[in-house]
Structure 1
Amino acid sequence: MQSLSNRLQTQPDASTATALLQLQAQVDGDPSPAPSSDLDGMSLGGLKRKRCRGDFEVCALGGEVGRDVVERGLVTGEEAALYFGTFFQGCDKYVPVFDPSYDTFDSIRRRSSMLFDTIITIGCRAENGAVSSQYQALSNTTKSPIAEVLLGTTLPSIETIQALLINACYSEKGWMLTSMAVRMALDLELPDAYTQLCEIMLQGSDNVERERDLFRKARVWFGTFVLEHILSLDCGKRPGVRADGVAMRRCRVLLGSSARTTLDFRLLAQVEVCELLSSGDAGADVLLALAHDRLSPRVGVALSDRELGEIVQGTRIDLSIWLSDWITLVETAGATEEEKASLVVNLKIQRDWSEMTMLCKGLQGIGIDNVAIMSEEQRNLIRLAKISAQRHMSTIMSNTGLYLGGFRYGMDFVWAKCAFSVLLLLKLTRLLPESSNMPQLIADSKVLLAELSKVRGLNNIYFRILSLSVEKCERALKEDLAQAANPQNSGTQLNFPDAEMEFQSYVPKEFILEWSFPGLTFCWIPFDFQDLLMDFGSGL
């Protein structure tokens, strides 16, 4: 079977890995000299390591390398145990790269202070909130190890990759940290673990420890691959790595392994989607990579309404098949009813999110934001996006405790997606109000806000964005009702209501500068209003 890492569309630099192997040989007593230009002054473990460049040298930044936050007195042993447990009560669902039977408190603390400190820090965040002084102090301790990785003074390891992925999810510029994790995973040849795991499963090997070791490596690679795609796409960056071939599409075979966990259903469903992208089909969250490529405007080439409709229809069908397949797999899993329900909700959320953003991306590629001048085919895509957004909202509202309760552990992009999805639904419903109950939608949005306030939402910027979105939409609706009750006071046909204009033009800067979510610039400007502007522009 061809090595999977050889089929990844990226160009990893082998010099780092070669240098580290040479260094290891030196430490182990191998007389072969390492090139002094690259390795002068470097050492392993907790010792200081540096690289010389002329009159400068790269120095280790961690003054207390190897000493974790407990040993440094930043938290007590009891607090560390509490925060560790909190992390694995919910944060690990967003970073599903752990094996609970292997990644225990004592095991992680013994293997990697960087990973241990990162888990304790994020557990403190979930327990005490992002504004707590203890979390802020712990968060500062994670900066030096990340800088060490950037400088190349940290040896590649699975634990370092896991720490990078956690930090990526709970910090700004996460796409950069996942890119670093991808490079380190390729240096360690983690993609090959999946190929080897498939081989021993097909052979029926009874080497349980070997299977578990390969599964741990494959899990970390899959988690790295998926998170790199998600954070890249949400931030408007093209993913840095993609798979070529059909091997990863068959990853569901790993569900038959004794080493798999319940969270592997969540992870492998996304992995399969990544492969669908690479092979030219489509699927949930990560399908946006393909949709972006196929639906984005190309220089000198414009998609016809028919071509756009065919791409959208094919993608929606693939999404439905993907969802149906994985719900069936989850229902047959050996998990608790609550775990199954949580997995199914997550799958539905992925499908709805992917569909509505894919539709908006396609329409955005046309270059027309004004729904009033769209063709009927284009306007129908707006309707489909609204249906997807409404279904997304209904799934959340039907499972507030099960889904929104996890927001206590969620990172910023989870909150951002929630706020965006509601704002998009409100906007699309205002643009195409047929068969919609706007008062009920606003009422549901207020219930959503109330639920989010129970999980420290009041201190979250995206909670405030969502609150302001609902407030602006409600003002626009009240203005409509007032004009309907007193049509003689509505002014001329060219009078554009202030509240409606304010709501249509509301695009939070966070969704432009930090994220790349499509659809918020759609508007409705009547024909006569446009004609008036054209007359002014021509001087008539």
Structure 2
Amino acid sequence: MLVVACYSAERLLILSFATRMALDLGLHEAFEELTERVAMKNDENLYEVSDHDFEREQDIMRKSRTWFGLLVLEHIFRVDGGKPPGIRLIGNSRRCRILLSHPSSTVLDLRLFSQVELNILRATINDNLGSGTKLDQPGISDFVHEMKIDLDLWFDDWLRIIESSTTAQDEKPYLLAALRIQKCWAEMMLNCKALRAMGVENVAAMSATERSILLTAKSSARRHLRLIILEPEFYLAKLKYAMDFVWAKCAFSFLLLLKLSRLLPERDDEHQELFDNGNSLLHELNKAGSNWRHSGAGNIYLQILKVSIEKYGRTLQESQQPSSGGGSTATSPFWELFDAQADLQWFVPEQFVSEWDFPGLNLFYFPTAWQDSFGDFSLAM
């Protein structure tokens, strides 16, 4: 049921059925029982177990994995899909690391347990920066700083755990690539959700603090895009059967960076670099998606990415055309063009409004001087 939920439009309904079934089977109790057993053995230095006990522990381990898989998926749909809060993990999520020392632990547990911890952090971010947040702007800024530290600690811990693992030699490059990409995504969403909680969408009207958060979000988006195309054999090549959410993330990361690069250009070559990176991303995703289910939702995000890059390329080419006097290219900021806002709004596909709760594509640039002019005009009328 969890696997089906990853690819189905009825994922929330299927997930709710799976949660009810998991509770009826007592899967939520397995982790506590297993950790107690492991702790007792460590205290008493008991490493030999009977065949019956070993079989029982293997069964509990499978139940714990299934429960954690449910928890991770529920948190993804809650944080990134706008699902109402459901499962809450009581206690310290880092306790799941103790299961890595269990005899039946596999290399896949490294991926699963790191995801458990990360998604608990992401759920905390979502709860504190949601629509009903009680934090004021300084409180939001402090919260962002604290969560950035927690994400850094999570990343450093799991980087060390994976690199020191003796059972993950073959999988290590893939695990480390995913770890770095997941950290960038979490930081990007942290800063975008913070901006949304602050309630300012007009980049021109942002305070220094808000602008700093926006630039940090852009930096995370840039690193995210560079990482997923840097070593495609360790990440993008493995997306053939990835859930729709992963394909959506790849498309969104490019669209967000595109919008932020239009709103806050920092270098002369930034737009061309983004266009080249977008083409590299599209090329690798096309390879990963070859012979894939062509009617799947992942193909929709691939098409969104393709059309967006083509439109961006045409816009970029037009902006680089020499003026009629034979001089240099146009130097006016993008937002001063007549159709700038309409052009930016085009990069907000419907899927990122109805399917996923990815903040950031609603940002725009409206010069405050123009607002003052319209205000004066209204008073005169």
Q: Identify the match of residue 352 of structure 2 among 511, 516, 537.
A: 511
AA of the residue aligned to 1:470: I
Once the two structures are superposed, residues 56-105 of structure 1 have per-residue CA deviations (whole angstroms, 9 ceiling, x without a partner) of: xxxxxxxxxxxxxxxxxxxxxxxxxxxxxxxxxxxxxxxxxxxxxxxxxx
CA 1:525–1:377: 2 relative to 1, 3 Å: same
Aligned partners of 2:72, 2:56: CA distance in 1, in Å? 24
1:385-404 matched pairs, under 5 angstroms? 385-404=217-236
The residue aligned with 1:212 is 58
The residue aligned with 1:270 is 115
AA of the residue aligned to 1:363: L
Q: Identify the match of residue 465 of structure 1 among 274, 285, 304.
A: 304
Instruction: Report the secondary structure of 1:408's partner residue.
Output: coil
The residue aligned with 2:248 is 416
The residue aligned with 2:136 is 303
Aligned partners of 1:517, 1:335: CA distance in 2, in Å? 36
CA 1:477–1:308: 2 relative to 1, 3 Å: farther
Instruction: Report the secondary structure of 1:241's partner residue.
Output: coil
AA of the residue aligned to 2:113: L
CA 1:377–1:476: 2 relative to 1, 3 Å: farther
1:102-501 matched pairs, under 5 angstroms? 164-204=1-41, 206=49, 207-246=53-92, 248-271=93-116, 273=117, 284-298=118-132, 301=134, 303-304=136-137, 306-435=138-267, 437-456=270-289, 459=294, 460-482=299-321, 496-498=337-339, 501=342
CA 1:177–1:377: 2 relative to 1, 3 Å: same
Once the two structures are superposed, residues 491-523 of structure 1 have per-residue CA deviations (whole angstroms, 9 ceiling, x without a partner) of: 999952436641344210010011111000111
The alpha-carbon deviation at position 307 of structure 1 amounts to 1.8
Once the two structures are superposed, residues 13-56 of structure 1 have per-residue CA deviations (whole angstroms, 9 ceiling, x without a partner) of: xxxxxxxxxxxxxxxxxxxxxxxxxxxxxxxxxxxxxxxxxxxx
Instruction: Report the secondary structure of 1:329's partner residue.
Output: helix
The alpha-carbon deviation at position 421 of structure 1 amounts to 0.9
Instruction: Report the secondary structure of 1:426's partner residue.
Output: helix
CA 1:530–1:199: 2 relative to 1, 3 Å: same
The alpha-carbon deviation at position 534 of structure 1 amounts to 3.5
The alpha-carbon deviation at position 322 of structure 1 amounts to 0.4
TM-score, normalised with respect to structure 1: 0.63
Aligned partners of 2:352, 2:284: CA distance in 1, in Å? 23
Aligned partners of 2:142, 2:13: CA distance in 1, in Å? 34
Instruction: Report the secondary structure of 1:337's partner residue.
Output: coil
Q: Which runs of 5+ in 2 are unaligned?
A: none
The alpha-carbon deviation at position 230 of structure 1 amounts to 0.7
The alpha-carbon deviation at position 394 of structure 1 amounts to 1.6
CA 1:539–1:413: 2 relative to 1, 3 Å: farther
The residue aligned with 1:526 is 367
Give the % identical residues: 41
Residues 372-381 or 187-196, more deviating: 187-196
The alpha-carbon deviation at position 172 of structure 1 amounts to 1.0
State whether residues 360 and 519 of structure 1, in contact with CA within 8 Å, keep that contact through their aligned partners in structure 2.
yes
State whether residues 316 and 355 of structure 1, in contact with CA within 8 Å, keep that contact through their aligned partners in structure 2.
yes
The alpha-carbon deviation at position 441 of structure 1 amounts to 1.6
State whether residues 193 and 214 of structure 1, in contact with CA within 8 Å, keep that contact through their aligned partners in structure 2.
yes
Aligned partners of 1:243, 1:224: CA distance in 2, in Å? 12
State whether residues 479 and 499 of structure 1, in contact with CA within 8 Å, keep that contact through their aligned partners in structure 2.
no
Aligned partners of 1:371, 1:491: CA distance in 2, in Å? 17
RMSD: 2.6
AA of the residue aligned to 1:426: L
The alpha-carbon deviation at position 376 of structure 1 amounts to 0.8
Aligned partners of 1:351, 1:492: CA distance in 2, in Å? 32
State whether residues 175 and 232 of structure 1, in contact with CA within 8 Å, keep that contact through their aligned partners in structure 2.
no
The alpha-carbon deviation at position 173 of structure 1 amounts to 3.0
Which has the higher relative contact order, 1 or 2, with Cα contacts under 8 A spaced 6 or more apart?
2
CA 1:242–1:219: 2 relative to 1, 3 Å: same
State whether residues 419 and 462 of structure 1, in contact with CA within 8 Å, keep that contact through their aligned partners in structure 2.
yes
Once the two structures are superposed, residues 326-380 of structure 1 have per-residue CA deviations (whole angstroms, 9 ceiling, x without a partner) of: 0111112233534011111111121111110111011011221111100011000
Aligned residue-pair number = 363
Aligned partners of 1:465, 1:374: CA distance in 2, in Å? 30
Aligned partners of 2:14, 2:161: CA distance in 1, in Å? 32
Aligned partners of 1:369, 1:494: CA distance in 2, in Å? 15
The alpha-carbon deviation at position 489 of structure 1 amounts to 8.1
The alpha-carbon deviation at position 288 of structure 1 amounts to 2.9
The alpha-carbon deviation at position 240 of structure 1 amounts to 0.6
The alpha-carbon deviation at position 194 of structure 1 amounts to 0.9
The alpha-carbon deviation at position 488 of structure 1 amounts to 11
Aligned partners of 2:245, 2:335: CA distance in 1, in Å? 40
CA 1:380–1:209: 2 relative to 1, 3 Å: same
Instruction: Report the secondary structure of 1:242's partner residue.
Output: coil
Instruction: Report the secondary structure of 1:225's partner residue.
Output: helix
The alpha-carbon deviation at position 409 of structure 1 amounts to 1.0
AA of the residue aligned to 2:94: R
Instruction: Report the secondary structure of 2:320's partner residue.
Output: helix
Q: Which runs of 5+ in 1 are unaligned?
A: 1-163, 274-283
